[in-house]
């Protein structure tokens, strides 16, 4: 019997890298000239999987968002790990933005991914298993084609390809 190869598609993020990025943001903002003397907050709520940014104005809030995304990218994390939920006024004439941390593939999107894999008409099978998608096939080349194709498409979740066996 021929050997079968497989890999998983998931949206897991390295939480230690995420925390490092948030710590780096705090250090950079503390040293930036444009933030001197102005109030700002960076709150990471680990249990709720939320990131809350508070700044004195919309301009400062946008600068804070840009710094966060830059630090995430330097830690090899996608900017898609953050989904903006709402921007609102906060106490003390401040502005506040709340982000949800995305570390899963929604079922709708998982179904779209498996449909795209089937449309490739390769000899592979894609199966949704909990919060990941297992792709199996007899040829490594077919699996690599699947990875290349799925990577080239635009998805909501920050996809990670792992456990290649």
pLDDT tens column, 31-56: 888 888 888 888 888 888 898 888 88
Query: What DSSP assignment string belongs to 84-144?
Result: EEEEEEETTTEEEEEEEE--S--HHHHHHHHHHHHHTT-SEEEEEETTEEEEEES-HHHHH
Task: Name the helix (H) or strand (E) containing 52.
Answer: strand 50-55
pLDDT tens column, 112-143: 888 888 888 888 888 888 888 888 888 888 88
What pLDDT score does 109 carry? 86
Mean pLDDT of the chain: 85
Buried b / exposed e along 82-102 (16+ C-beta atoms within 10 A): beeeeeeebeeebbbbbbebb
Residue 9 binned pLDDT confidence (cut-offs 50, 70, 90): confident
**Ranges 66-70, 86-90, 116-120: which has the least confidence:** 86-90
What pLDDT score does 1 carry? 44
Residue 2 binned pLDDT confidence (cut-offs 50, 70, 90): low
pLDDT of 4 over the 70 cut: yes
């Amino acid at each position: 019997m021929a050997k079968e190869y497989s890999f998983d598609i998931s949206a897991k993020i390295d939480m230690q890298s995420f925390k490092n990025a948030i710590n780096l943001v705090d250090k950079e903002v503390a040293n930036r000239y444009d933030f001197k003397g102005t109030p700002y907050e960076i709150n990471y709520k680990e249990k709720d999987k939320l990131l809350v940014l508070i700044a004195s104005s919309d301009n400062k809030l946008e600068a804070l968002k840009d710094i966060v995304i830059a630090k995430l990218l330097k830690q090899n994390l996608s900017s898609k790990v953050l989904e903006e939920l709402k921007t609102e006024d906060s106490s003390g004439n401040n502005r506040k933005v709340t982000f949800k941390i995305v570390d899963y593939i929604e079922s709708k999107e998982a179904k779209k991914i498996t449909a795209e894999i089937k449309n490739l008409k390769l000899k592979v099978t894609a199966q949704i298993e909990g919060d990941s998608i297992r792709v199996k096939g007899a040829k490594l080349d077919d699996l690599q084609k699947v990875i290349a194709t799925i990577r080239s498409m635009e998805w909501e979740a920050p996809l990670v390809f792992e456990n290649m066996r």
